[in-house]
Structure 1
């Protein structure tokens, strides 16, 4: 793989009211009470050797209309599906939105103060208030597949932000699973979602005390 771990991808969100977070207390309270709080903040001990084994052996397995991701860690089979991700990350988002229609995205972003009316499908964090910038940046760094270009985001992440703003659920489980599947054969493959993969490995393998 051309790139291994991305330090700024799938980071742990620190939702504490520290001095550096002054002025963002309302957004911190909102995220702390949301259904994505666990996924944002869970902080497992990541064993590099486990993550490497997983991604070096991962392949996509189709059975009827069911798609799974399969890999080996310590010669034990790891199976990942959308359902597994939903359970491990405590998301409860099976009925959530996958992606809103474009017109609903434009309207929804305008309703939360997006100051750059456009018909383009790339959106920019800089044109939101500081409160929304904080929320968007948190989502992008913790839950999206992005590794760089934090000022911009696509329709899928726009849908997630709009759903959160309206108290609706976005299907992060499907987004994360589909991203993992796409990463397997991607030309820019990297060690995606190490926090979440580690949680799944711990759940399915058990004792990892021999790893570093």
Structure 2
């Protein structure tokens, strides 16, 4: 699993040791708004940090996290393709509802870290939805996947539907 993660398209985001300024992070989360009129309809997150305007778009996510994805890559995959990948991972449950506990013990740490780090899940941390499952199997199988859209849309959903 480690060898695969070291060669995947989001390796930089997984391994980089970024300096995080807690004050700036708190300042950012005081003012964010989703602006769906920008970025060709995909929208952006507009906020202020120390009085400066900050705009986060899918392109910014791609550049800053150094995802090696492309805007035309898919964010979800056909049911049969995902099911085949899940079976290859020895998943014992049904799809589309995917439960962490039904993966073999060697895959559970990945699911355990993947859910809170790269998705908007805050309450249910044992269940993956269809898009999250697609992203995870794409990561495991090194498929072309638009992780930048996945991350930016999750951020927007967190702002639009706070839990």
Fold in common (TM above 0.5): yes
Q: Which one of the candidate residues 82, 85, 88 is aligned to 1:111?
A: 88
Shift of residue 66, structure 1, vs aligned partner: 4.8
1:125 pairs with 2:130: no
Which stretch of the first structure deviates more once superposed, 72-81 or 166-175? 166-175
User: C-alpha offsets along residues 39-59 of structure 1, whole Å, 9 cap, x if unaligned?
Assistant: 123333322321222122111
Whether the 8 Å CA contact 2:76–2:134 is kept in 1: the answer is: yes
Q: How far is the alpha carbon of 1:159 from its aligned partner?
A: 0.5
Say whether 1:139 aligns with 2:114: yes
Structure 1 unaligned regions, length at least 5: 1-26, 189-212
Tell me if 1:174 matches 2:124.
no
Residue of structure 2 in register with 1:97 after alignment: 74
What's 2:64 paired with?
88
Larger radius of gyration: 1
Matched residue pairs, number? 160
* Of 49, 67, 78, the match for 2:43: 67
Matches of residues 1-212 of structure 1 in structure 2 within 5 Å?
27-61=1-35, 62-63=37-38, 65-94=41-70, 95-116=72-93, 118-119=94-95, 121-188=96-163
Report the CA distance shift for 1:66/1:136 in structure 2 as closer, same or farther (over 3 A).
Answer: closer
Assess if the C-alpha contact under 8 Å between 2:115 and 2:121 holds in 1.
Answer: yes
In structure 2, the gaps of 5 or more residues are: none
The higher-RCO structure (CA 8 Å, 6+ apart) is 1
**SS of residue in 2 equivalent to 1:180:** helix
CA separation in 1, counterparts of 2:62 and 2:24? 21
Deviation of 1:77 after TM superposition, in Å, equals 1.1
For 1:136 and 1:170, how far apart are their aligned partners in 2? Answer: 17
Q: Could you list the runs of 4 or more consecutive aligned residues of structure 1 that deviate by over 4 angstroms after TM superposition? A: none
Q: Distance in 1 between matches of 2:107 and 2:99?
A: 11
Tell me if the contact between 1:40 and 1:142 (Cα under 8 Å) persists in the aligned partners. Answer: no
From the superposition, tell whether residues 32 and 179 of structure 1 become closer, same or farther in structure 2 (CA, over 3 Å).
same
Q: CA offset at residue 176 of structure 1?
A: 1.1
Q: Please give the alpha-carbon distance, in whole angstroms, between the structure 1 residues aligned to 2:127 and 2:85.
A: 17
